Amino acid sequence: MTINSPDVLEGIRQEALKALSQREESNKATSAQAAGLEKGTPHMQILCCGGTGCKASESAKIAQNFQESLKAHSIEDKVDVVVPGCFGFCEKGPIVKIVPDNTFYTSVRPEDVEEIVTSHILAGNRVERLLYVDPSTGQHISDSKHMNFYRKQMRIALRNCGFINPEDIREYIARDGYKALAQSLQRPSEDVLADIKASGLRGRGGAGFPTGVKWEIARKFDAPDKYVVCNADEGDPGAFMDRSIMEGDPNSVIEAMMICGYCINAHHGLIYIRAEYPLAVHRLKVAIGQAREYGLLGKNILGTGFDFDIEIRYGAGAFVCGEETALIHSMEGKRGEPTLKPPFPAEAGYFGNPTNVNNVETLANVPVILTKGPQWFASIGTEKSKGTKVFALAGKINNVGLIEVPMGTTLREIIYDIGGGVKGGKKFKAVQTGGPSGGCLTEKHLDIPIDYESLAAAGSMMGSGGMIVMDEDDCMVSVAKFFLEFTVDESCGKCTPCRIGNRRMLEILTRITDGRGTEEDIETLENLAKVIKDTALCGLGQTSPNPVLSTLANFREEYEEHVRDHKCRAHKCKSLLTYSIDPALCKGCSACARGCPAEAIAGEVRKPFVINPEKCIRCGMCLSRCKFGAIKVI
Amino acid sequence: MENTTIITLTIDGRAVSVPKGTSILDAAATIGIKIPALCHMDLKGTCVKNTPASCRICVVEVEGRRNLAPSCATQVMEGMVVRTNSARVVRARKTVAELILSDHPNDCLTCPKCSDCELQKLVTRFNIRRMTYKGEQSVRKKEETVAITRNMDKCILCRRCESVCNQVQTVGVLGAVRRGFETTIAPTFDRMFKDTDCTYCGQCVAVCPTGALTERDNTDRLLDDLCNPEKIVIAQPAPAVRVALGEEFGMKPGTIVTGKLATSLRYLGFDYVFDTDFAADLTIMEEGAEILHRLRAFLGGDKSVKLPIMTSCCPAWVNFYEHNYPDLLEYPSSAKSPAQMFGAIAKNYWAEKMGIPREKLVVVSIMPCLAKKYECEREEFSVNGNPDVDYSISTRELARLIKRSNIDFESLPDSDFDTPMGESSGAGAIFGATGGVMEAALRTVYEVFTGKTLPRLEFTAVRGLDGIKEATIDIDGFPLKVCVAHTLGNARYLMDKLRKGELNYHVVEVMACPGGCIGGAGQPYHHGNIEVLKARAAAIYREDEGKPIRKSHENPDIKQLYEVYLGEPLGELSEKLLHTRYFDKSIK
């Protein structure tokens, strides 16, 4: 069927809404009584997370088991199994949600399915043991609305993730999908563009360039072939918001690209996605296929004469290809390395044609900005950073997952309220924001309202929204080294500072963590970091020293301890550890000596044993074997 | 490109006005500020250009800009305030240079590029006296081909070779492989040159700032032969050598050193010093005859005749069409290159005449070219494994040999080449510049075709540095359409048109190197200065003007050679000795 007018689109929306209304209603439900077929509930739905994270924990098997169990109980026509995109609470995956009572099951395993069906779906009794337990109160919470993880969130970009079936375009349409496009195509394109500008939306890929301004520039360059490119080359370690959006709501990206195409007068769309995202690729392909089938992609869209189509291009997983010029070169079949701007892609991009590149999350905001109005969007966030931002919470934090909060939320709210605080009750030390290009922020930064400017001022950056929490057990020199290892691996090798400079910095950091560093090394490191930041060609190189500079700024004493005292306070740098046996505690059982792979421990039975530091390889085997706590590590 | 907008900016406190689109680097140069640069190369007026802005040596401070700007690739803007020498810039620049050194073998004393190395010059200029950064060094591929030596440990990834190989020559052999610190410039899959479409044009060598890409050195081999009393060693220097060799001894580009060249070769111990220019005249006789032959057939209504006829003197160009256009091998002239014609005559006619056994005779060509080294190795140019030209040395190698042999080049007296293969016309001399072969051929073709004397010898339409030059020459009412191209990229443009049947010329000249042989890969390094090439070209034409005989067919030694030995152009013996055939060398 072809949607050739806004009226037909509205018709489909009304139709599709019927199937979705139960889910909409369920979302509003609180922890009232559980529903059940035997209690008289006529129809139920089981939402079984289909994000990559949950899939890795067998959620596909869970969905399959549900189907089979429903069949076995002959209730398959009364209960639907829906596979939506990511719910975000990946720490507790796989997630299964029951409609209409809004029950949120966590850490579900395939063997739990039968119990859920018999006791909940049929009898209407929740399976308590699969409910989320609030770590602070110890109480079971049955719905996501009452979980701290979700309470402070505001889901705009992720609005459909974990809700609709991403492989059914009608469910997207039911949620006002393609409405923004239909409305836009009725308006002069400059008005639509003005709305995007007025909304204050800025690029979510990291740099935060105003999206409307970017479109406006691209619009100015006239050419027969212009391109809208979606940058889906998400590469920050730990960041997966773009993947989640593409897996959970691919049509929002497609719709936004079309709106962009309309605004800048482009008719070709390209999605550059890394090939390591097979599920996202699949969902995009399905969505593009369905959009074409419905006539939403192709010629004469919605009968307005506007033509637009989208192709997918695959990246081979090079971090630098997230940089737009490198991305374009990669799409052209060339080596994925950045070139100097200007010329900007808006002037000369894909094969020399005017090209507008936007990140996935940026695009996902566009349709809803237009349906709800730019003022609504601009009312959210801080003065210069509007709307929300998705963050990938990871590291030493209780609630690992994907969250979306209004700009201006503080790090404290994110880490302690949403994230549930530091794991194991340990002391918070730092949070790395902005991925390998960002910096480490500390206790003193926790109350800064997060936006592009405040993070930059604090010595870090928004980046794509990675957020890695570190505790007292993390060595900040090692952390800097970890991130630098990443950028060294991912450097394209084009410019000297990044190619050689980062390598030299990594070598210095390795010396320091190996206990071979000198005070001069710290100075050299600092000089190198500053010069690289000042001279590297692209964003990757210019920001790669950030982890070093920010840890030097905030944790310089740790560097000094490493080189001066040969000490790593976090006990992370093996070479700096000394293992010894406390003679007062040692019973002379010889367990340590028998377990030592380096034969570094000797002694007489029933007398205290001794570790030979020359031979000791600091593997920690003795520590794990000693039953008397006699092994000391300093 | 017309650009009238003038931009005014301040560099180091001084105002400067330049056309819009100018780089900060070029703008600074106009007021005598020489910003150091390394990866950047712009042979203005040709298509040789490399501005990846990757080395970051030329960074400058631009007021209001967060980070430093690469001056080579940053265009001037109205009111821009630039500092090229602030403490921040100086520190950054030096650090970047030190970083390059930290991944460089720094074996300057034994490096073939020593004293001609752009990195070495920068290190001196920046007063770097110690190795600040030490760490792991790249270990990259080494390869010695017959023409080009690769020692990529010395590569600083300026990407100039990649630019010329891809953008200028469109050969596409060299490119960046792997990434990060492991990046290297190499053929795809790290293949060896010999397994690629490399034409050995050597332009990668011509632009390499360090010793990563150099010529295959034949000087020791030559010294051995010169010292061997059993061998008769004879020399044939190419036309372009005599207008460039002086540069290696501090003379101004464009200084003509023909007489000193002949003397120095004698002093080196060559038994006879002949001249490739002589063979250039011979080439015109044969190629001219071929042009006339095809034209007459064409005018006689023969539709099967292959036109345009294309020159075949340039060995890199020959390699190029053998690799890329095996379907069009019938278009180029079958005439051998002058150097190979010389070898064939020397090892047959002259050796017989002198009673020298072939094995005793060593023919050495002195060439502005590296592909000539490869050409010497072609099987079809040898008899029972004995090559017509034993090997070739470049202009640079000759200079090194002269220095090594205690010869004070500048004070050398002039002398003439030996006879009978030393006399040449001005037509032979201009082979060294783009358009030269065409002009030389036109002088002869016109007179032989019409039987009339040319009113004016100079065909200026085919001179100069334009990549593709065309002209229509009125030959007694027949409009002869000719085209001259230099660089293989321009050649590819023509060949692609030819393949589509859209190339409407009668005669086409192609030279692989920018400017022709004067810009050859064996010449003294131009270091990106186009004035050097222009001066050499001007000298070539001065050499021509100074010659009493300026048409190949009037060279008395050539006439005599045909009378006493060859018979006539395209005759049986000429075909045997002076013509060749081509092979499909495409990589399947």
Closest-CA distance, A46 to chain B, in angstroms, reads 47
Other beta carbons within 10 Å of A229:
25
Residue listed under structure tokens 């053929």 = B187
**Which runs of consecutive H residues, i.e. helices, occur in A80-151?**
113-115, 148-151
Q: How confident is the model at residue A33 (pLDDT cuts 50, 70, 90)?
A: confident
Quick one: CA torsion of A410, A413, A418, A419, rounded to 10 degrees? Answer: 90
Do B412 and B260 contact (CB within 8 A), yes or no? yes
Per-residue 3-state assignment (H helix, E strand, C coil) for B110-137: HCCCCCCCHHHHHHHHCCCCCCCCCCCC
pLDDT above 70: residue A629: yes
Reported as a pLDDT band with limits 50, 70 and 90, residue A31 is low
Which residue of the set B162, B247, B248, B287 is catalytic? B287
> Which of B92, B103, B159 is closest, CB to CB, to A535?
B92
Task: Return the half-sphere exposure (C-beta side, CA atoms, 13 A cut-off) of residue B434.
Answer: 30
- Which alpha helices (H) appear in B56-209, and where do they start and end? 87-102, 118-125, 160-163, 203-207
- Contact A632/A580 with Cβ under 8 angstroms? yes
CA distances from A161 to A155, B133, B351 (A): 9, 50, 88
Helix axes B276-299, B338-345, angle to 10 degrees: 110
Beta-strand runs (E) in A201-249 = 227-232
End-to-end distance of chain B based on CA atoms, in angstroms?
A: 41
pLDDT, tens digit (0-9, with 9 covering 90-100), for A86-119: 999 998 989 999 999 999 999 999 999 999 999 9
Give me the pLDDT at residue A144, please: 87
What is the per-residue pLDDT for A436? 87
Q: Which of A267, A266, A263 is nearest to A190 (CA)?
A: A263
Residues B258, B405 contacting (CB under 8 angstroms): no
What CA–CA distance (Å, rounded) separates B187 from B173? Answer: 5
Asked if B489 and B514 touch (Cβ cutoff 8 Å), the reply is no
Q: How far apart are the first and last CA of chain A?
A: 72
Catalytic residue among B118, B248, B375, B397: B375
Q: Name the helix (H) or strand (E) containing A274.
A: strand A268-274
> What span, in angstroms and rounded, lies between the C-alpha atoms of A459 and A282?
38
> Which residues of chain A have a Cβ shorter than 8 Å from any chain B Cβ?
318, 335, 337, 339-340, 342, 488-497, 499-501, 503-504, 507, 524, 527-528, 531, 533-537, 542
Q: Tell me, what's the pLDDT at B137?
A: 93
Sign of CA dihedral B139, B140, B145, B147: negative
Using alpha carbons, select from B491, B430, B493, B505 the residue that is nearest to residue B464: B430
**What is the Cα–Cα distance from A46 to A67, expressed in whole angstroms?**
10
pLDDT at B2: 53
Given CB atoms, is B135 within the 8 Å cutoff of chain A?
yes
- B333 catalytic per annotation: yes
Calculate how close chain B gets to A542, using CA atoms only, in Å.
9
Residue type (1 letter), B215: E
Decide: A113 and A62 in contact? Cβ < 8 Å: yes
Cis peptide leading into A342, omega within 30 of 0?
yes
A–B: how many Cβ contacts below 8 A?
106
Q: Token pair 């890329």 is at which residue?
A: B324
- What is the secondary structure of B303-325 as a DSSP string? TT---SEE----HHHHHHHHHH-
Taking CA–CA distances from A497, the nearest residue in chain B reads B96
Would you put residue B334 in left (φ > 0), alpha (ψ -120 to 50) or beta?
alpha
Taking a C-beta distance cutoff of 8 angstroms, is the pair A354, A218 a contact?
yes
Q: State how far the Cα of B158 lies from the Cα of B156, in Å rounded to an integer.
A: 6
Q: Which residue of A lies nearest to B104 if distances are taken between CA atoms?
A: A500
* C-alpha–C-alpha distance, residues B34 and B50, integer Å: 18
Chain A contact probe: residue of B179, B184, B210 with most A CBs at under 10 A: B179
Residue of B nearest to A488 (CA): B180
Q: What is the rounded CA–CA span in Å between residue B1 and residue A300?
A: 41
User: Two tokens at A134?
Assistant: 């609030």
pLDDT of residue A464: 86
State the amino acid at position A296 in one-letter form. L
Q: Are B441 and B289 in contact (CB under 8 A)?
A: no
Instruction: Band the pLDDT of A30: cuts 50, 70, 90.
Output: low
Q: Containing H/E element for B6?
A: strand B6-11
Instruction: Please give the pLDDT value at position B184.
Output: 95
* DSSP states of A557-607: HHHHIIIII---TTS--GGG--EEE-TTT-----HHHHH-TT--EE--TTS
Q: Are A484 and A506 in contact (CB under 8 A)?
A: yes
Q: What phi, psi does A274 have (nearest 5°)?
A: -70, 140
B108 is catalytic: no
At A410, is the secondary structure helix, strand, or coil?
strand
| A500, A534, A542: residue with CB nearest B100 | A500
- Concatenating the DSSP letter of every residue in B257-292 gives -HHHHHHHHHHHT-SEE--HHHHHHHHHHHHHHHHH
By CB neighbour count within 10 A (0-12 exposed, 13-18 middle, 19+ buried), where does A17 fall? Answer: middle
Question: Residue holding tokens 């902005």?
Answer: A434
Q: Specify whether the CB–CB gap between B432 and B517 falls below 8 A.
A: yes
Task: State which amino acid sits at residue B139.
Answer: V
Total length of chain A: 634
Both tokens assigned to B469: 């030059």
pLDDT at A350: 97
Tally of residues, chain B: 588
- Which residues, listed in sequence order, are joined to residue A406 by a DSSP beta bridge? A388
Mean of the per-residue pLDDT values of chain A: 94
Q: Which residues of A295-326 are buried (b: 16+ CB within 10 A; e: fewer)?
A: bbbeeebbebebebbbeebbbeebbbbbbbbb
Is B313 among the residues known to form the active site?
A: yes
- Among A332, A521, A531, the residue to mutate for chain B (most B Cβ within 10 A): A531
What pLDDT, on a 0 to 100 scale, did the predictor assign at position B440?
Answer: 97
Nearest to B71 by CA among B125, B112, B30: B30
* Matching residue, tokens 């194991």: A424
More confident residue, A29 or A369: A369
B410 three-state secondary structure: helix
Assessment of whether the complete model's pTM goes beyond 0.90: yes
Nearest to A43 by CA among A106, A100, A89, A87: A100
Which residues, at least 6 apart from B199, have a Cβ–Cβ distance to it below 8 Å? Answer: B169, B171, B316, B317, B319, B320, B323, B371, B488, B512
Q: Which of B54, B65, B76 to mutate to test the interface with A (most CBs of A within 10 A)?
A: B54
Measure in Å the smallest separation between the Cα of A86 and chain B Cα atoms. 34
Assess whether B517 carries a catalytic annotation. Answer: yes
The token pair that represents B303 in the structure block: 């539709």
For residue B103, which residues of chain A lie inside 8 Å, CB to CB?
500, 503
pLDDT tens per residue, range A269-304: 999 999 999 999 999 999 999 999 999 999 999 999
pLDDT beyond 90 at A207:
no
Residue B65 at interface with chain A, using a CB cutoff of 8 Å: no
Question: What percentage of chain A reaches a pLDDT higher than 70?
Answer: 100
Which one of B154, B372, B373, B469 is the catalytic residue? B372
- Confirm or reject contact between B167 and chain A (CB < 8 A): no
pLDDT in tens, A558-590: 999 999 999 999 999 998 999 999 999 999 999
Q: Which residues of A touch B175 (CB under 8 A)?
A: 335
Separation in Å, CA A113 to CA A42, A48, A58, A110, A163 = 20, 11, 12, 6, 20
- Distance to chain A for B138, nearest Cα, Å: 10
SS3 content of chain A, % helix, strand, coil (to 5): 45, 15, 40
- Strand A103-105 and strand A96-99: the pairing is antiparallel
| DSSP 8-state class, residue B579 | B
Q: At what angle do helices A546-560 and A502-513 cross, to 10 degrees?
A: 20
Give the pLDDT mean for A406-435. 94
Question: Which of the residues in chain B have pLDDT under 50?
Answer: 1
**Chain A interface includes B180 (CB < 8 A):** yes
Q: With CA atoms as reference, report the closest residue to B21 among B35, B36, B39, B1.
A: B1
